[in-house]
A and B are shown apart, each in its own frame.
Chain A
Amino acid sequence: MGATATIRGASFYRAQRAGSRVALYAGLWIGVIVMVVPFFWMVATSLKSPIEILEFPPTWIPTGQFAKTASGAWEEVYVASRDRDAGTVAVRSAAGGPARVLPASDVRSSVRLRFSNYAAAWRQAPFARYYLNTVFIVLCTLAGQLVTSALAAYAFARMRFPGRDVIFLLFLSMMMVPEPVYIVPSYIILAKLGWINTYQAMIVPWLAYIFNIFMLRQHFKTIPDDLYDAAIIDGCSRFAFLWRVVLPLSKAVLAAVVIFTVVSTWNSFLWPLVMTNTPDVRPLQVGLARFAQEQGTNHELMMAAAVFSIAPLVVAYFFAQKQIIQSLATSGIKG
């Protein structure tokens, strides 16, 4: 009796575990779909023809229409209209000209990936230069932000000085000011410095970033005072405490700062657009704007350019994935 109960219990728990596992996987799959579908859509759009992009219902896999020519070969065409009752299809050749009506059996569709969109997009602007510029701006900004954010956050979290909280509140209130409000005054300052159309204009004003300071400060505050007292008693300086104790304990938050800074600098658009004039200093995002015009956007070219613009970020993430997850998992003691 007792044994049976145990067995029942075990299978019951096993079933429950299996149930929660199903729920877990379902949840994860939803997450995967939410994250992957826009990405997939971007890649699919980048491989379509401008006409296919506008089709409704949309095609998930880029598809081309082909019609049999008199010689029996298949020629790529656009379908103008379909007459289901008569079983015919009106097609136009890709080069234009009048439509011709063919029996439906002479028209077939198959997967057609237009990699030529990538070449066309790449040729539209000096993207190699834009890449170099973006990478340089991102690395400089990142290095600067790590230094200034760590030092400022340490001061706000651990040091006592008059007006500390007021200054911190002032910092926080600056986070509420939207970019269009300060972009014109910033332009004036940079112009007076003679920095318009230079790398400095895109790097120096962003060397300190309040959100990062805030994030690090919140984390630094969770490191126990006991650690600090013990270190100071052992003759550790304040900077050494930051370098040897606080930062190693903050890898997870620092990883977040790195990701946040890299992504936001990589994607920054309005600031570099306004502060620069020529392609030799402009970053990728400004280059992408080339595909939009007053009355519409070249979606296929823009998506192709978007794919190769974010590809380095995705590749970098795959390589750093282990480190990023590890640093998030082993974030050390908390207060």
Chain B
Amino acid sequence: MRRFLVCVAMVLAMGALLLSACSRKDTGIQFWHAMGGPLGDTLDVMIAQYNSTHPGTEIQSIGNANYEALSQKIMGAVAAGQPPVLAQVYEAWTAELIENESIESLTDFINGPNGLSQEELADFLPGMLENNTWDGVLYSVPFNKSVRALYWNKDLFATAGLTRAPRTWAEYTDYARRLTKDQDGDGLVDQWGTAGEISAWMFENMLVQNGGSILTPDGTATAFDRPEGVQALEFMVKLLTEYGKVTGGYEYQNDFQAGKVGMIEGSTVSLSFMQGKYTFDMATAPLPVGKQAGCLVAGTNVVIFADAPTQHKEAAWEFIRWFTSPEVTARWAAATGYAPVRKSAMELPIMKARFGEVEGWGDVFAQFGFAGYEPRSPEWYAGRKALQEVGVESALRKQKTPAEALAAAAAAVNAELRAE
């Protein structure tokens, strides 16, 4: 009994010690994001630099591990009337936040004394600002935008007699076929041409390359189940199941890094992660061209919440202006693989140096110049999941033909779109 009481006393003493330490108030400008690993480290360093050069403001970098947790946290905070000042959000969340009048229009900031000139606005990469504009009002700025890249193993390509990355769909399957080998002669394939995960994003890119589109122009019905989409999915299934393997999670990336796979498609951000973790000669290339070159941008934007005090909102805008300035966005892009959001950033020495370090990287980034965007309604956010799980997955697992799989996915997505 006495020992028990001693324990309780110790707990209380420790509690008093700790609680006194945590009673301080948060005074900084909270920026909620979901950047982890090296990406989070890069962001933290940049924010620390900003704070040290801007006395009087403190941007607090608050990492939330993943987008799922971030979304729940934002929902709760907005409902409780206690949002942060800045947060990373997907377009579908922005649409809902606008509806609830929870976020600030950026128009006044842009036109204000500390705003952006017409030349500066025109310097943003094509589509980036349009993608953040709702009914003519800019509500968010692009933060971490990526496109897909082709990563290829030069050593494996050389042993297969290949000297460059595939440029067309025909070359894509042909090279993948030539890279698929049984090295030790046991009758089983042990080197694959390519590999990939079950990814709606990969299919959507191929859909665009094949001249298709995800939804009809008015956004009320699916278009991915039309012949262009069926052909694109047939191509993807052939590529990944005949000359490649479909893996869960990032296993395909691990297999590529281990030198078991000739080439993979991945996000431009993957480079920052793979860097230094392979022993072969690696190069990058833009995605192979189908009927046309095409790719879709993924990633989130940053918003300012309406409930924050005015001086916090102004400080938050100042931070956004700094972060999207050519020099800073170029630094961010060089370190992470995300897009530099400004055209002029592509010409800066830091980006040029990066393009020099990684073979093909300049051509990969040139894709941002013509990249498209996904539909951004909250209905599509749910619909995309159906496309991935009902459409792409059942086709890659050969449970359905691509045509059947897309028809089933279209039915699910259309139900979602009509529920609006």
> Which partner residue on chain B sits nearest A289 by CB separation?
B65
Interface check B15, CB cutoff 8 A? yes
Knowing A81-B155, A196-B82 touch, does A289 contact B36 (C-beta < 8 A)?
A: yes
Interface residues on A, range: 35 or more
A198 CA to B266 CA in the complex, in Å? 39
**In the complex the two chains form, is B269's CB within 8 Å of A183's CB?**
no
A291 at the interface (CB under 8 A from B): yes
B65, B267, B279: which contacts A273 (Cβ < 8 A)?
B65
Q: Which residues of chain A (53-105) have a CB below 8 Å from chain B?
A: 54-56, 78-81, 92, 96, 99
Select B269's contact among A133, A187, A290, A295, beta carbons within 8 Å: A295
A323 CB within 8 Å of chain B: no
Partner of A290, one of B63, B72, B279, B281: B63
Q: Could you say which of A56, A277, A295 contacts B267, with CB atoms under 8 Å apart? A: A295
Q: Please give the distance in Å from B400's CB to the nearest CB on chain A.
A: 29
How far, in whole Å, are A291 and B253 apart by their CA atoms in the complex? 17
Flag whether A140 is at the interface (Cβ < 8 A).
yes
* B residues near A50, Cβ cutoff 8 Å: 276-277
User: B36–A290 contact, CB under 8 A?
Assistant: yes
Pick the contact of B76: A56, A191, A280 (CB < 8 A): A191
A-B contact count (CB 8 A): 142
B72 near A298 (CB under 8 angstroms)? no
Assembled-state Cα–Cα distance A79/B22 (Å): 50
- Tell yes or no: A25 within 8 A of B by CB: no
On whether A183 and B270 interact (CB within 8 A), knowing A133-B18, A199-B18, A296-B253, the answer reads no
Beyond known contacts A79-B279, A187-B79, A191-B82: 10 more, CB 8 A cutoff: A80-B279, A92-B279, A99-B279, A143-B11, A187-B80, A274-B76, A281-B22, A295-B266, A296-B250, A297-B37
Is A80 a contact of B65 with CB atoms below 8 Å? no
Q: Is A132 within 8 A of B18, CB to CB?
A: yes
Chain A hits for B255, CB < 8 A: 54, 56
Verify if B349 is at the interface (C-beta below 8 Å from A): no
A50 to B277, CA, bound (A): 6
Which single residue of chain B is at the shortest CB-CB distance from A92?
Answer: B279
Looking at the assembled complex, report how far the CB atom of B33 sits from the nearest CB atom of chain A, in whole angstroms: 11
Q: Which of A81, A294, A297 has the most CB of B within 10 A?
A: A294
Q: Which residues of A contact B277 (CB under 8 A)?
A: 50-51, 54
8 inter-chain pairs at a CB distance below 8 angstroms, sorted by A residue, are A51-B257, A78-B279, A183-B72, A191-B81, A196-B82, A277-B26, A293-B39, A295-B266
Interface residue B19 (Cβ < 8 Å from any Cβ of A): yes
Chain A residues at the B interface, C-beta cutoff of 8 Å: 50-51, 54-56, 78-81, 92, 96, 99, 124, 132-133, 135-136, 139-140, 143, 180, 183-188, 191-192, 196-199, 270, 273-274, 277-278, 280-281, 286, 289-298
A56 touches which one: B64, B260, B272 (CB < 8 A)? B260
Contact check, A184 vs B62: say whether CB atoms are below 8 A apart: no
With most chain A CB atoms within 10 A of its CB, the pick from B63, B250, B270 is: B63
Minimum CB distance partner of A269 in chain B: B65
| Complex Cα spacing A133 to B17, Å | 11
Inter-chain contact B69/A184, CB cutoff 8 Å: no
B370 near A: Cβ within 8 Å?
A: no
1/0 per residue B67-92: CB within 8 Å of A?
00100110111011110000000000
Are A291 and B62 interface neighbours, CB within 8 A? no
Tell whether A139 pairs with B11 under 8 Å between CB atoms, given A191-B82, A199-B19, A290-B37. yes
Residue on B with the closest CB to A290? B36
Query: Is residue B322 contacting chain A, with contact meaning CB distance below 8 A?
Result: no
Contacting residue for A295 out of B14, B32, B250, CB 8 A:
B250
* Distance of A297 Cα from B22 Cα, bound (Å): 31
A121 to chain B, nearest CB (A): 12
Q: Which residues of A contact B80 (CB under 8 A)?
A: 187-188, 191-192
Instruction: Specify which chain B residues have a CB less than 8 angstroms from the CB of A54 in the assembled complex.
Output: 254-255, 257-258, 277
Say yes or no: is B21 at the interface (Cβ < 8 Å to chain A).
yes
The docked-state distance in angstroms from the alpha carbon of A186 to that of B72 is 11
Say whether, besides A54-B254, A277-B62, A296-B253, A290 and B73 are in contact (CB < 8 Å).
no
Q: Which residues of A contact B39 (CB under 8 A)?
A: 293-294
Proximity string of chain B (44-72) to chain A, C-beta cutoff 8 Å, 1 when within and 0 when not: 00000000000000001011111001001
Q: State the Cβ distance, B217 to closest chain A Cβ, in Å.
A: 31
CB distance from A64 to the nearest CB of B (A): 13
**Which residue of chain B has its CB nearest to the CB of A49?**
B277
A292/B76 in contact, CB under 8 A: no
Beta-carbon contact of B270 and A296 below 8 Å: yes
Which B residues touch A55, using CB under 8 A? Answer: 258
Give residues 251-298 of B contacting A (CB, 8 Å). Answer: 253-255, 257-260, 266-267, 269-270, 272-274, 276-281
Let me know if B121 is at the binding interface, CB within 8 A: no
Tell me the nearest residue of chain A to B82, going by C-beta.
A191
- A-chain residues with CB within 8 Å of residue B267 when the two chains form the complex: 294-295
The winner among B40, B64, B76, B82 for most chain A CB atoms within 10 A is: B76
The minimal Cβ–Cβ distance linking B75 to chain A, given in whole angstroms, is 5
Residue in chain B with minimal CB distance to A189: B80
Contact A184 B76 (CB under 8 A): yes
Complex CA distance for A250 and B15, rounded to whole angstroms = 29
Q: Does B38 contact A (CB under 8 A)?
A: yes
| Residues from chain B with Cβ under 8 Å of A184 in the complex | 72, 75-76, 79
The answer to whether the Cβ of B8 comes within 8 Å of any Cβ in the partner chain is yes
* Chain B residues with CB under 8 A of A185: 76
Q: How far is the CA of A89 from the CA of B88 in the complex (A)?
A: 48
Partner of A298, one of B30, B37, B259, B266: B37
> Beyond A54-B258, A56-B260, A277-B30, is A293–B37 a contact (Cβ under 8 Å)?
yes
